[in-house]
Chain A
Amino acid sequence: MKNKTFWMVMGGFCLFLYACTKEAQIKETVSNFLGFQKPANFPSPVYKLENNMVTEAGFRLGRSLFYEPRLSRNNTISCGSCHIQSSAFTQHGHDVSHGIDDRLGTRNSPPIMNLAWNKAFMWGGGIYDLDLQPIAPITTHEEMDENLDNVMTKLRLVEKYPTMFKAAFGTEEINTTRFLKALSQFMVMCISANSKYDKVMRNEGGLSFTADEQAGYALFRTKCSSCHQEPLFTDGTFRNNGLAPSPIKDQGLYTATLQEKDRYKFKVPSLRNLSYTAPYMHDGRFLTLNGVFDHYNAELQQTVNLDPLLQQNGKLGISLTADDRTKLTAFLKTLEDADFVTRKDLAEQ
Chain B
Amino acid sequence: MKTLKNIFCLSSISLLLLSISSCAKKSDVTPEYQEDNLAPFSVEFDNIVGEKTLSFNNATSPYTNAVGEKFTVSLVQYFISNIKVSKADGTTYTVKQDSSYFLIKGADRATRFAKVKVPEGDYTKLTFTLGVDSLRSTMDISKRTGVLDPAGGMEDGMYWGWNSGYIFFKMEGSSSVISDDVNGDPTGKKQFKYHIGGFGGYSAPTINNVKNITVDLTTAGIARVRKDRQSNVHLFVDLIKVFNGKNSFSIAAHPNVMFSDYSVNIATNLTELFKHDHTEN
- Nearest opposing residue in chain B for A238, CB measure: B204
> Interface with B: A27-35, A56-64, A215-223, A250-258, which one?
A250-258
B153 engages A181 (CB within 8 Å): no
Q: Which of A138-159 contact B (CB under 8 A)?
A: 138-140, 147-150, 152
- A282 vs B194: C-alpha distance when bound (angstroms): 29
Chain B contact-residue range equals 20 to 34
B186 CB–A CB distance under 8 Å: no
The answer to whether the Cβ of A310 comes within 8 Å of any Cβ in the partner chain is no
A125 B204 Cβ-Cβ under 8 A? yes
A198 contacts partner chain B, Cβ-Cβ < 8 Å: no
Instruction: Say yes or no: B162 contacts A127, CB within 8 Å.
Output: yes
**When the two chains form their complex, are residues B150 and A127 in contact, meaning their CB atoms are under 8 A apart?**
no
Which candidate, A76-84, A128-136, A318-326, A340-348, is the interface stretch facing chain B?
A128-136
Complex CA gap A138/B150 in Å reads 12
Q: Indicate whether A262 reaches chain B with its CB closer than 8 angstroms.
A: yes
Q: Which residue of B lies closest to A256 (CB)?
A: B163
Contact partners of B140 in chain A: CB under 8 A: 48, 51, 129, 131
With contact pairs A135-B150, A152-B151 given, residues A259 and B141 touching in the complex (Cβ less than 8 Å): no
B206 interfacial by beta-carbon distance below 8 Å: yes
Contact with B along A92-123 (1 / 0, CB 8 A): 00000000000000000000000000011010
Cα–Cα, bound, A307→B236 (Å): 51
> Please, how many angstroms separate the alpha-carbon atoms of A241 and B275 in the complex?
51
Q: Does A69 contact B (CB under 8 A)?
A: no
Knowing A135-B150, A148-B150, say if A119 contacts B203 (CB, 8 Å). Answer: yes
- Which residues of B lie under 8 Å from residue A149 when comparing CB positions? 151-153
Asked whether, in the complex, the Cβ of A257 is within 8 Å of the Cβ of B206, the reply is yes
Q: Are A120 and B163 in contact, CB atoms less than 8 angstroms apart?
A: no
Contact code string A238-280 (vs B, CB < 8 Å = 1, else 0): 1000000000000001011111001000000000000000000
What's the nearest-Cβ distance from chain B to residue A187, in Å?
Answer: 14
In chain B, positions 100-135 with a C-beta closer than 8 Å to chain A are none
Q: For residue A175, give the distance in angstroms from its CB to the closest CB of chain B.
A: 8
- Determine the chain B residues whose CB is within 8 A of the CB of A25 once the complex forms: none
A177 within 8 A of B: yes
A136 nearest in chain B by CB position:
B161
A180 within 8 A of B: yes
Query: Does A126 sit at the interface, judged by CB under 8 A?
Result: yes
Answer yes or no: A176 CB below 8 A from chain B CBs. yes
Bitwise interface map of B from 196 to 218 toward A, beta carbon under 8 Å scored 1, else 0: 00000111111100000000000
Q: Give Cα A138–Cα B157 distance, bound, in whole angstroms.
A: 13
| Chain A residues, Cβ within 8 Å of B159 | 135
Instruction: Report B202-246 CB contacts with A as 1/0, cut-off 8 Å.
Output: 111111000000000000000000000000000000000000000
Chain A hits for B150, CB < 8 A: 132, 135, 148, 176
Most chain A CB inside 10 Å of its own CB: which residue of B141, B202, B205, B207: B141
CB pair B204 A256 closer than 8 Å: yes
- Bound complex: CA of A92 vs CA of B202, how far in Å? 31
In angstroms, Cα B159 to Cα A147, docked, is 11
CA A258 to CA B205, docked complex, whole Å = 9
B206 touches A258 (CB 8 A): yes
Q: Cβ of A147 and Cβ of B154 under 8 Å apart? A: yes
Q: Please, which residues of chain A bring their CB within 8 A of the CB of B6?
A: none
Q: A136–B162 contact, CB under 8 A?
A: yes
Quick check: is B142 within 8 A (CB to CB) of the other chain? yes
In chain B, what residue has the closest Cβ to A147? B153
Also in contact, A122 and B259, with CB within 8 A (given A129-B202, A177-B145, A181-B141): no
B164 in the interface, Cβ–Cβ < 8 Å?
Answer: yes
Interface string of B154-186 (1 = CB under 8 A from A): 100101011110000000000000000000000
Nearest CB on A from B75, distance (A): 16
Contacts of A238 in B (CB 8 A): 204
Q: Is the CB of A176 within 8 A of B149?
A: yes
Cα distance, A149 to B155, chains bound together (Å): 12
Contact B141 A177, beta carbon cutoff 8 Å = yes
Are A132 and B162 in contact, with the CB atoms below 8 A?
A: no
For the complex, give the distance between the alpha carbons of A255 and B261 in Å: 11
**A126 contacts B162, CB within 8 Å?**
yes
A262 in complex: contacting residue of B145, B149, B154, B204, CB < 8 Å: B204
A152 to chain B: which residues have CB within 8 Å?
151
The reply to whether the CB of B144 lies closer than 8 angstroms to some CB of chain A is: yes
B260 part of interface (Cβ distance < 8 Å): yes
Residue pair A180, B141 in contact (C-beta under 8 Å)? yes
Q: How far is the CA of A48 from the CA of B205 in the complex (A)?
A: 22
Q: Across the interface, do A258 and B162 meet the contact criterion of CB distance under 8 Å?
A: no
Smallest CB-CB separation from A122: which chain B residue? B162
In the assembled complex, the Cα of A255 lies from the Cα of B205 at a distance in Å of 12
Q: Can you offer 21 A-B residue contacts whose CB atoms are under 8 A?
A: A126-B163, A128-B164, A129-B138, A132-B150, A135-B150, A140-B161, A147-B151, A147-B152, A148-B149, A148-B152, A149-B153, A150-B153, A176-B149, A177-B144, A180-B141, A238-B204, A257-B204, A258-B206, A258-B207, A258-B259, A259-B206
Listed in ascending order, the chain A residues whose CB lies under 8 Å from chain B are 48, 51, 119-120, 122, 125-129, 131-132, 135-136, 138-140, 147-150, 152, 175-177, 180-181, 238, 253, 255-259, 262
Known: A135-B159, A257-B205, A258-B206. 14 other contacts (CB 8 A): A119-B203, A120-B203, A126-B164, A128-B202, A128-B203, A131-B140, A132-B164, A135-B164, A136-B161, A136-B162, A140-B161, A148-B151, A176-B151, A177-B141
